Amino acid sequence: MSFNPRMPTLSVPIQKPKNSVQLIKPFGPILAKTTMPQTLIDELNEFCDSTIARKSLNAELNAGPGLAGNVTQEIKLSKELLKNGAFLNFLSTSVQSWLGQATGKKTTEVNLLGSWIVRQFQHEYNPIHTHTGHISGVGYLKVPSDLGDYYQKGKSANNNGKIEFVHGSRNFLCSGSHLIKPQVGDFYLFPNYLFHTVYPFLSNEERRSVSFNAFIDDDLYNSAS
């Protein structure tokens, strides 16, 4: 004798919606996307290019030993560049806007732990990892014009050179991950604990990004956790 635990169903006719629907996201982290001004992109690229021209990184600027990436080079932003204020001002206003919308509260502190540029080339990748601090972000300074095809042609998806954020597992109304194709100038903000990875690509061009970690005021961080 078989047993079906499902209750009898009632078919609901599909009609054109007449009422507005507000999306509510009480579960899972809230990310933010903004755009870096061209002047800031140029400043960060110029700093990176001038550092590369010196052909060697001293201990003060070499971020590689403390980071997860299997990439060509990871360069810390210098104190001189940070003192200029353009990047810090961009981070401050972006973080306040993001957290203000997400929590309805004002951010009173953004304390930078560190910021670095990632230089990634063909076949290199960043394994899945998290960051330190409370909040993090990544922005794109250079993106190859073509990230290459899959070895097997005709695949519907192509993840080459993309960044993927992972949280939880796939379920109904929850994909469990979010895949992003980098575009120059795009900047994403996310909580430090959010797992993410960057896939390798096929191109002779450089994929260049800038990242940061920071603390915010403890009261705000703890109230939203």
SS3 sequence of 107-137? CCCEEEEEEEEEEECCCCEEEEECCCCCEEE
The answer to the question of residue 93 being in a domain is: yes
* pLDDT digits (tens), the chain, 225 positions: 444 555 565 555 566 666 666 766 777 899 999 999 999 999 999 999 999 998 777 888 999 999 999 999 999 999 999 999 999 999 999 999 999 989 989 998 999 999 999 999 999 999 999 999 999 999 999 999 999 999 998 888 899 999 999 998 889 888 899 999 999 999 999 999 999 999 999 999 999 999 999 999 999 998 865
Distance from C-alpha of 127 to C-alpha of 39, rounded to nearest angstrom: 31
CATH number for the domain that contains residue 67: 2.60.120.620
d(CA 184, CA 208): 9
In the prediction, which pLDDT does 25 show? 78
CA–CA gap between residue 207 and residue 182 (Å, rounded): 9
Q: Is residue 17 part of a domain?
A: no
21 belongs to a structural domain: no
Q: Quick check: is 19 in a domain?
A: no
Confidence (pLDDT) at 142: 98
Query: pTM, whole model, 2 decimals?
Result: 0.89
For β-strands 135-142 and 186-191, DSSP reports them as antiparallel
User: What is the pLDDT at residue 14?
Assistant: 61
Domain membership flag for residue 38:
yes
Is residue 121 included in any domain, yes or no? yes
**How many structural domains are present in the chain?**
1
Residue range of the domain that includes 60 = 32-150+157-223
Quote the pLDDT of residue 2: 46
Residue 163 lies in a domain: yes
